[in-house]
Copies of this chain bind each other. A is one copy, B any other.
Amino acid sequence: MELKKILETQSEASWKKYIPTLSIDCVIFGFYETSLQVLTVKMKDQEAWALPGGYVQKDENVDDAAIRILKDRTGTENVYLQQFYTFGNLKRSESAFEAYDDSIWNKQRFVSIGYYALADFSKVNLIIDKYSTACEWHSIDNLPSFMMDHRTIFDKALLTLREQLNHHPIGYNLLPEKFTMPELQKLYEIILGKKLNRGNFYRKILRYDILTKLDESRKGGAHKAPDLYSFDLEKYNNALKEGLKGSW
């Protein structure tokens, strides 16, 4: 079915199924090797990339809609998912639509609730649905052009990670279960947007007493095999309740 036809058929069904005005956009982060990645989709007939998104069903909590959208796009559940901001500028869609039209679902004015997700990179399936032509990870160091205000939504999500780093289990949810100290430092550097002194970082993170040093090291590579660590989840969660002391 061609896209125009799909959209017309969908419009009527959408008015019945979803509450109007509201959309959800998801900023799905994953950590791969030493790079923070974000999941992007390309919609049919669009040049620019988009964040994965969707609508809220009439009989559904907004949070549950976000969980459903995330699952539809990545095939994963039980992912750390947090609402972070709602985007309601009148002209957020200006480049995508000539004018708002209250009678056509896709042309109404949407206010979008932003959620960020911290996904396990290795477990995410990239699902291309009938409205899209591509679904890919992009390194946040090398982002493509986004449609509408999706770049603004992404920037706000990253800023939120930065502000919440001492209060939310961000490291735990982005890193694999076992990780090296350089990997943890790299993740902190990316989120904070600055280089950290290696010695200071090690001392500080160890003083928090939230890591367990494992009896194994990372095999392979020419250098001495680096030690592996994991989070002590109970101590980590307790420390986050108060907020990790100090800044980076």
Contacts and interface: CB of A to CB of B under 8 A. Distances in A.
Interface in A34-85: 56, 58-63, 65, 83, 85
A200 interface: no
A242 B164 CA distance: 13
Interface stretch (A19-27, A123-131, A135-143, A169-177): A19-27
What copy number does this chain have within its complex? 2
Given A19-B109, A22-B88, A63-B88, 17 more contacts: A19-B21, A20-B20, A21-B22, A22-B111, A58-B109, A60-B90, A61-B90, A62-B88, A62-B89, A62-B111, A63-B89, A83-B85, A83-B86, A163-B164, A243-B247, A245-B246, A246-B247
29 contacts: A19-B21, A19-B109, A19-B111, A20-B20, A20-B21, A21-B21, A22-B88, A22-B111, A58-B109, A60-B90, A61-B88, A61-B89, A61-B90, A62-B86, A63-B89, A83-B85, A83-B86, A86-B86, A88-B113, A163-B163, A163-B164, A163-B167, A163-B243, A242-B247, A243-B247, A245-B246, A245-B247, A246-B246, A246-B247
